Chain A
């Protein structure tokens, strides 16, 4: 088990490292940099002659004349040693503050979506398998397919329209107007929970649909195994039998889905947040990418992918605990 954990942990660090390199390179790609942008801004506000020597000096000061790998190492060093993510050009403040401000709500949205997906998918999946070809199974299948076929953001658009048409107001944002800038109180938390429902359903539906199908397929395989007959022959009640043996086996891929679902959920969260105007990391990251606000963008990508990779790690560990065969692999 120790060896297994160690190996996974090494993979995890390795993956995060690759991601930081990719993120950094991609964001450095566009022509121009921080200083070019600053100079353009100054030109726009009326200063017409800026001494090239000063520009060079500024470049040196920000380390922009260094080759890319040196810049990368500096960036990594600052993050690891000082927790300094750099400076946001667009917001004129520390990138770290910006990330810390947006991340908790992203976390809340993603986590509650995962919970929603599990709570809905597990019982429906089990039901679909046990009552195969029943009316309920067909309904679940149908809804599942629709859920899978409807892209998140289209679902968001359609829900927005329906809520506007029949509810009188568009379900946008995570808080009601009066709570947006209010300090955290129980009332604000309650307000958040009320709004959380919509993004949770929108982001979660396609994953729920996928998971229901997975659960159903796995359980159908397990239900025909001889050990089920054996347990039944020994007089176990149907409910106990079902939950104690086949469901437990079928749960394996279910657990490993946390791993692959997370990047998808994060991506889904980005688009849905933009459509629904949620105060999560999605819209900020999106704008940072468009405006080449490099430290904010790479910071967000780094943190989000690190969280994703950690999520995968947790699911691997859970899987290993659940199923000894995987440890021995």
Chain B
């Protein structure tokens, strides 16, 4: 039943009607990649998706620069401090961006700490301010942050603070490093698995094909989540961050390869009959060479599109596992780890800003879906 591999494969956005401006003149001279770029550009949502994705990865790469604070900086005084508002005017005069400080009082009944805005304390903000020092890309020592309080150390919680008094915005920015890289590594591993198994299956046919097909079917019908939870729960508490990370990535990859394997297989079944494959075979090219050097390059673009569509699934899976407490664990910061703190209804009800990482996830997943969708449409420009 290969009619529909999965929902996303069938995704297509209603593309705006075709516009033919500069394209017509040079269409006959353009290379395949150029044609694809032209076609891609017409898909507005995909272009927006591309911009968002690039921004996310840029922010992740230079997280120390973009985040006002380090991920682990905490001030116990500001536990669950609510988000501050940025003001521009004071007493009717433009004084540049600033936030107001906090005052606290105790609720006489519950002894809960209550925050209020302190109208007197003005904390001026600025761009390229000096803050905590860090090493940019692990190389250049600096203390410049994109934005923050002009005087280092003043309370600045644009999106509130968490249970330990850490800045939610900064942590969300740092989380993107782990969450986005887990997805990439997982997708690359599942790509290799998918291409090798799908390729062999499509190329050899017969018993091998049947076996791989059954394997895919079994993998797809196992409720993988319980199995993943079981394996993840085995990971000893004292394992290093890196080892846990590797295990989680592999678990995600094992769940992800089937879709791609199916795509690759059906492509190979079709390509097998082509003349260039036959001639390569007659020239004595080995099977692996045949797959990687001759057959795969003819549908790279499809693979790229499939990968882009597989990425959001990985991000969601990592977030879900960490959220349940069986994925990555603190001190690692990922969106799922951050959301662990937002499991209880009373936390969400009292401190809704703890849900901020959720929106970071939703936005990047949307962006990847749009991007992948545009890539798939553009994959075949002819």
Cβ contacts under 8 Å, B355 to chain A: 154, 157-158, 161
Tell me what chain B mostly uses at the interface: helix, strand, loop, or mixed.
helix
Q: Classify the interface of chain A: helix, strand, loop or mixed.
A: helix
Q: Is the CB of B223 within 8 A of A26?
A: no
Max count, chain B CB within 10 A of own CB: residue among A30, A141, A157, A297: A157
Interface residues of A in 1-47 (CB under 8 A from B): 11, 14-15, 18-19, 22-23, 26-27, 29-30
Instruction: Give the contacts of B1-30 with A (CB-CB under 8 A).
Output: 1, 3-4, 6-8, 10-14
- Whether a CB of chain B sits under 8 angstroms from the CB of A289 is yes
From A259, which residue of chain B is reached at the shortest CB distance?
A: B1
Q: Is B320 an interface residue (CB 8 A)?
A: yes
* Cα A213 to Cα B349 with chains together (Å): 34
| A interface size (C-beta, 8 A) | 70
- Flag the segment in A51-59, A90-98, A132-140, A179-187 that touches B: A132-140
List the interface of chain A (C-beta within 8 A of B). 11, 14-15, 18-19, 22-23, 26-27, 29-30, 132-133, 137-138, 141, 145-146, 148-151, 153-154, 157-158, 160-161, 164-165, 170, 172, 207, 209-211, 213-214, 217-218, 252-253, 256-257, 259-260, 262-263, 266-267, 270-271, 274-275, 285-286, 289-290, 292, 297, 300-301, 304-305, 308-309, 312, 316, 319, 326
- Asked whether B184 is an interface residue with its Cβ less than 8 Å from the other chain, the reply is no
On chain B, the residues within 8 Å of A271 by CB distance are 225, 320, 323-324
A14 touches B12 (CB 8 A): no
A132 touches B7 (CB 8 A): no
Measured between C-beta atoms, what is the minimum distance from B324 to chain A in Å? 7
Task: Report chain B residues within 8 Å CB of A213.
Answer: 7, 10-12
B contact residues vs A (CB 8 Å cutoff): 1, 3-4, 6-8, 10-14, 214, 217-218, 220-227, 229-231, 233-234, 312, 316, 319-320, 323-324, 326, 339, 342-343, 345, 348-349, 352, 355, 358, 361-362, 365-366, 369-370
Asked if A170 and B324 sit within 8 Å, CB to CB, the answer is no
Contact of B223 among A27, A137, A266 (CB under 8 A): A266
Residue of B nearest to A266 (CB): B223
Given contacts A289-B233, A297-B230, A305-B221, whether A253 and B4 have CB atoms under 8 Å apart is yes
* CB-CB nearest in chain B for A316: B1
Contacting pair B1 A326 (CB below 8 A): yes
- Residues in chain B near residue A259, CB distance under 8 A: 1, 221
Give the docked Cα–Cα distance between A274 and B339 (Å).
14
